[in-house]
Amino acid sequence: MIKLVLSDMDGTLLPKGGDHVSYRTIQAVRALADAGVRFAPATGRQSYELDKRFFGARECYATAITANGKRVYVDGELRHEVLVDPEVLVRLNAMLAFVPNAFLVVETADSWNGTRPWYCVGARAGDAEWFGRTVGFTAEACEELPSEPAISAEIACAGSDEQYEELIDRARELVPECEFATSQVHWCDVMPKGVNKGTALQVLLDELGIDSDEVLFFGDAENDLTLMDAVPNSVAVANATPAAAEAARWHVGDVANEGATEAMEEIARATREGETPVFMSEDAPAWQPATDEDGDEELDSSEDDADSSAIFELLAAHLGPELGGEAGAMGGASADSTEL
């Protein structure tokens, strides 16, 4: 029996770039509670960000895994916290100082209530503004690392796909004590090795007194893989990355059609009636990539188009004088991986 439903936010319950979940999602969480099933977000975001995204419905996020596993809350109380090693920030920032269109983003630990900006170290104001608007945070471009302890760090890259991938490979070599997971377009979460959504789950299980086989998790991206591996009942939405889709045991509709929300409604119904949710039954169709008439893989292009549009917008920012001048000022669209 499922006693706890965990869900990623961006790309799973919340369309990427969206400000808040639907009222239907809040009602689904309440239906779970009425059926005796807990709900908790498992996200890279902080708890204060969840307040806005759930319209202040505190019951939807009082228990949560946040900051990609660095913070765990139970009934509104912080029960677990891991801060980012400042030496890691120093090394990453030194590496990024030689890359004209990439920078380190740091959120300080005392920004729990959302009153502090996220510091974009060495970033152009236009690049910091673009990522802030796209990812959803208040950005402040600065030249030096903040002196306060940090709860989150991310690498942002306004270059090409190839440059971004090479940059993250370089970061993995430079800082082997950390894990790196892409969660948004050209946006990589930096986490202490062994600290992630999956390891945070055990903290939550111990606090709640339940087992992993009583947990179901919805996700869509690479930073969800550790949690998918940690529970037998893992679920991918239809817009998930290939890696997340392959890792998941069950599959539901995409975020645009509220696939995870619909599945939560089904979990609540099935729990009340002592049944297995339809999407988890043995009769549920096995997942496989969609194919065209020739048998070739035909992935839903909507997610790819969205990512491509975001990348093109990001690169175009270097061409817009309102965002800081011509492309050459930061490398921009002409940036090459050799610049690393």
**Tens place of pLDDT per residue across the chain (340 aa):** 999 999 999 999 998 778 899 999 999 999 999 999 999 999 988 888 899 899 999 999 999 999 999 999 999 999 999 999 999 999 999 999 988 899 999 999 886 666 789 999 999 999 999 999 988 889 999 999 999 999 999 999 999 999 999 999 999 999 999 999 888 889 999 999 999 999 999 999 999 999 999 999 999 998 999 999 999 999 999 999 999 999 999 999 999 999 999 999 999 999 999 999 999 987 776 665 543 344 444 444 444 454 555 555 555 544 343 333 333 222 333 333 333 3
Q: Kindly report the backbone phi and psi dihedral angles of residue 65, in degrees, each rounded to the nearest multiple of 5, phi listed first.
A: -105, 120
Q: Tell me if domain 4-82+195-280 and domain 83-193+292-340 are identical in fold.
A: no
User: Is residue 233 within 8 Å of 252, Cβ to Cβ?
Assistant: no
Q: Are strands 102-108 and 150-157 parallel, antiparallel or unpaired?
A: antiparallel
CATH 3.30.1240.10 is the classification of domain 83-193+292-340: yes
Amino acid at 80: H
Domain range annotation of the chain: 4-82+195-280, 83-193+292-340
- Fold of the domain spanning 4-82+195-280: Rossmann fold (3.40.50)
User: Is residue 67 within 8 Å of 80, Cβ to Cβ?
Assistant: no
Nearest to 117 by CA among 48, 59, 38: 48
DSSP letters, 164-214, are HHHHHHHHHHH-TTEEEEEEETTEEEEEETT-SHHHHHHHHHHHHT--GGG
Model-level pTM? 0.76
